[in-house]
Each structure stands twice: as C-alpha cells, then as structure tokens.
C-alpha cells in the first residue's frame, strides 16, 4: 500500500518552487491559487528570502500549493484525475467519488500539520480552491495568534521519551509535535524555552527551531475560531483514500469529522508518530512525500524500516513517482483530463489577443490568448501546452474575478501525457 505524505512548516527553502513553474499549467494554477490564498506564491516560492518564507502567513500557503501542484502534475486523487486547471471536480469526478465513497481505495493520505490540507485534497475531501482559501486564513490567523506573545519551538532529539516528556511538562511547555524516531518538539514562551535549554533532559540534544510561534499549543487557540468561521461554508465529502488525522493517527471516516479536526488541530499536538504507526499497521509498503520533500521521508526511514521511500523534491523525481504509482496500481494516465480551463490570474478586465482563435483552432504552447488588465498593469493569459480551443467563456471587455474560467481547451495528447 502506498502512502501519500505532505510536509509541514519548516520544510520550505528559498527558490524551491522555481523548477515546478517550468511544467505546463503549473504557473496558471499558482497564479489563481495566489489570489485565493491572498499570497503571491510565485514570488515567494522563487525569489523569497529565508526570512520572508519563514513568515507563517506565507509559509503555509506555499507548502500546500507546492504539494498540490505536484499532485496535479501526477494526477493524484479525484480532484486532479479528471477535472480542470482550477482543481475543481468535474461531474465525472463526482460520480467516481460516489462510487468509491463506501470503501477505501488502496492508498493512504497523511499530512504533517498544515500538510493535512493537501492530504485532504488528495483523499477527495476538499477541492483545491477551498484548500487554498482555508490555508490562507489558517496562516494569517496563526501568525496573528503568534504575535500576541513571544513564543517558539525547540526540537528535542534523543533521550528516553518518558524523561523528555516529564522535563517538557516541568517547564510548562507542550509536546507540540511527537514525530517519532526519537524526536519531540517542545513549544511555549521564550522564557520557558530558555529555562528548558538551561536544564535539558538527560541524554537529549536541543535544537531551537526557526519558527514564528508555539504552534499546536494553547497559544494558537484564537486561530481556531477564525478557521471554523471560514470552514462553515465549505463543501466537504467523505474520503476515498484512507486519510489519517494528526490528532491520534486514526483514519478519518467522514469529511465533516476531518474538517472539525483540521480546525481544532492548530491548538492541539501533532501525533505524527501515531500516523506512522497506523501506516505500518495498515500494511504500508511505500512512502511518497510531496514537495518540498525530505523531512517526512527522513522520519519514515528511521520509524518504518523496510518501506520503500521516495522524496519528490523537483520535477526530476516525477518519473520515479510515476513508476511508484504504477507499481502500486495507481495509474495517472487512465485519468488524464479530456479538457482543461484557463482561468483569470487576477481581477480586472479581459482583453482578447489580436488573433485569439475561434473554437476548433489549434494553439501552440506559450501562445498568447489574451490578457487581464488592471490598474497599473496587465497579466498575459497564455496556453501552457499545445491544445485546441473548445469554447470561450468570456468576451473581450468582460470584467473578470480571480480564478474565473476564461477558455476551455482540449490538450494535445502529448501535453496530456506531460501533465500526468
């Protein structure tokens, strides 16, 4: 059984999104998702400094977008297996989801902390646009909560678990992440962490983390209400993959339960150790970590011996990922989309190209189809792959909003294969 894993905050590095933007359709996805998350994903994912992308309000949307962009390229999960470039499910996807909803398919989805949102999309619970809206709210709300008082986190490496936990409790700290493989993350105020550093548990090494707050502790309680308010309007469905929860490592059976756990989890500890234990008990044989990959594979290497591991760091790893999907009977090519939408990257006025092309006309990769004009500039709308125009959904001069469909395209077969 194959595990799809999405990493959490701290996995991001400067420029990690740059190579992904070279793939067909990815730049368009990130442009529309930037508006939904209220974060310039392409800017921060390519030229953002280490300090800039450490900001919780930036890091969290970046992480979810990166994982979902790779999932889209691999056509992983119902949201990407037959929908469109907005990551919305088509009527075919919904029928397929309903057909599998009563039983779980042969895969496990799990995410560490904010990675749970990407895992939820892959498991079919949430549509990508809703995940990007929700992660934008999550990141900003947690950043606001962290600003109320100086808090942080420290990784505790090694030592006897019971001794480490007693020491964390004695200093008034919270074991915010139990990551397995001899790693527990303590979180609390700056004063508490300083006292902890001066009196570490026997046999353990402490490594302060470069994070902006004490995540997954009571210090994040104000963010829970903000998330619940945003989540109230979301449409969720029951998972079609086995979807694990950070709360206790248990499989989540309904979309409603998953969404409530997502909201409350920001102020509750992450039990990634329990997630890995459940993976083992369910018979996991392979573990694929989505970008920016490496952290969770490192934990799995120590905690899940004998499991095949793959970290998808750059597009160079896609062939290995496709082979792993095929080996575990997850065939992305059988779900290649028959058509795709190009969407408005920003709000403004749509202006058609001088020769925009009529339905039935073939366009090359990179062809300009129009532009969205807004105060102070404009943004080109280009085909990221060779295709045939099926229909225009807007006219020259129409006002458009972020993510609004502009034109429906039928990809050439080679472009469809590239996007798998």
Return the active site residues.
Answer: 113, 216
User: Could you give the CA distance from residue 77 to residue 268 in angstroms, rounded to a whole number?
Assistant: 28
User: Could you give the CA distance from residue 295 to residue 291 in angstroms, rounded to a whole number?
Assistant: 10
Relative to beta strand 2-6, strand 270-271 is unpaired
Rg (CA), the chain: 22
Reported as half-sphere exposure (CB side, CA atoms, 13 A), residue 374 has a value of 11
Report DSSP letters for 17-37, one per residue: TGGGGGSTTHHHHHHHHHHHH
User: Could you give the CA distance from residue 262 to residue 142 in angstroms, rounded to a whole number?
Assistant: 13
Question: Which residues does 258 contact at the CB level (< 8 Å), separation at least 6?
Answer: 120, 125, 236, 239, 243, 245, 252
Q: What is the 3-state secondary structure (H, E, C) of 158-173?
A: ECCHHHHHHHHHHCCC
| Tokens linked to 216 | 């997954």
User: Could you give the CA distance from residue 239 to residue 142 in angstroms, rounded to a whole number?
Assistant: 26
As beta bridge partners, residue 6 has: 111
Q: Is residue 379 within 8 Å of residue 40, measured between CB atoms?
A: no
| Tokens linked to 389 | 């125009």
Cα 213 to its chain centre, rounded Å, is 21
């Amino acid at each position: 059984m194959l595990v799809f894993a999405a990493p959490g905050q701290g996995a991001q590095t400067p420029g990690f999104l740059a190579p992904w933007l070279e793939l067909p359709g990815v730049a368009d996805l990130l442009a529309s998702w930037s508006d939904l998350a209220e974060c310039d994903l392409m800017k921060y994912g390519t030229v953002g400094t280490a300090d800039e992308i450490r900001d919780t309000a930036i890091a969290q949307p970046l992480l979810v977008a990166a994982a979902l962009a790779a999932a889209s390229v691999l056509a992983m999960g119902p949201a990407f297996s037959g929908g469109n470039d907005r990551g919305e499910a088509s009527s075919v996807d919904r029928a397929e989801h309903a057909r599998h909803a009563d039983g779980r398919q042969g895969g496990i989805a799990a995410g560490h902390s904010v990675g749970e949102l990407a895992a939820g999309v892959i498991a079919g619970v949430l549509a990508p646009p809703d995940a990007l809206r929700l992660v934008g709210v999550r990141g900003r709300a947690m950043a606001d909560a962290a600003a109320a008082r100086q808090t942080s986190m420290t990784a505790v490496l090694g030592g006897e678990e019971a001794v480490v936990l007693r020491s964390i409790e004695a200093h008034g700290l919270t074991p915010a992440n139990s990551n397995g493989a001899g790693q527990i993350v303590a979180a609390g105020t700056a004063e508490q962490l300083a006292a902890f550093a001066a009196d570490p548990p026997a046999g353990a090494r402490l490594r302060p983390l470069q994070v902006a707050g004490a995540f997954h502790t009571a210090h994040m309680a104000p963010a829970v209400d903000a998330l619940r308010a945003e989540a109230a309007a979301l449409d969720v469905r029951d998972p079609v993959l086995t979807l694990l929860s950070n709360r206790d490592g248990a499989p989540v059976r309904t979309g409603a339960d998953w969404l409530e756990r997502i909201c409350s989890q920001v102020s509750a500890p992450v039990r990634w150790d329990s997630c890995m234990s459940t993976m083992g008990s369910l018979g996991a044989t392979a573990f694929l970590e989505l970008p920016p990959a490496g952290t969770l594979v490192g934990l799995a290497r120590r905690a899940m011996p004998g499991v095949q591991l793959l970290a998808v760091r750059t597009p160079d790893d896609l062939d290995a990922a496709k082979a792993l999907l095929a080996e575990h009977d997850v065939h992305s090519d059988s779900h290649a989309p028959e058509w795709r939408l190009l969407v408005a990257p920003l709000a403004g006025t749509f202006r058609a190209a001088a020769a925009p092309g009529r339905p039935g006309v073939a366009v090359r990769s990179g062809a300009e189809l129009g532009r969205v004009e807004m105060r102070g500039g404009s943004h080109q709308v280009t085909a990221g792959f060779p295709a045939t125009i099926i229909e225009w959904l807007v006219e020259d001069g129409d006002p458009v909003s972020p993510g609004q469909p502009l034109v429906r395209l039928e990809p050439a077969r080679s472009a469809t294969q590239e996007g798998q």
